[in-house]
Amino acid sequence: MRLKIATLGETVLRQRTRPLTSAEILSAGIKQLIQHMRETMNDALGVGLAAPQIGLPLQLAVIEDKPEYLAGISLQQLAERERQPVPFQVIINPVLKVESAPNVEFFEGCLSLPGYTAIVPRSRSVRIECLDHNGTTRVIEATGWYARILQHEIDHLRGMLYLDRMLSRSFCSVDNHTRYWKDKAIAEVRAELGL
- The verdict on residue 83 lying in a domain is yes
pLDDT beyond 90 at 183: no
For residue range 10-34, what is the model confidence (pLDDT) as tens digits?
A: 999 999 899 999 999 999 999 999 9
- The verdict on residue 45 lying in a domain is yes
pLDDT of residue 73: 86
- The verdict on residue 2 lying in a domain is no
Q: Which domain holds residue 32?
A: 11-193
pLDDT beyond 80 at 101: no
Measured over all CA atoms, what is the biggest interatomic distance in the chain, rounded to whole angstroms?
53
| Percentage of residues of the chain with pLDDT beyond 70 | 100
Task: Please state the rounded mean pLDDT for residues 62-70.
Answer: 96
Active-site positions read 153
The model carries a pTM of 0.94
- The verdict on residue 59 lying in a domain is yes
pLDDT of residue 1: 80
CATH number assigned to the domain comprising residue 37: 3.90.45.10
Number of domains in the chain: 1
- The verdict on residue 144 lying in a domain is yes
Mean pLDDT of the chain: 95
For residue range 122-149, what is the model confidence (pLDDT) as tens digits?
A: 999 999 999 999 999 999 999 999 999 9
- The verdict on residue 6 lying in a domain is no
More confident residue, 73 or 110: 110
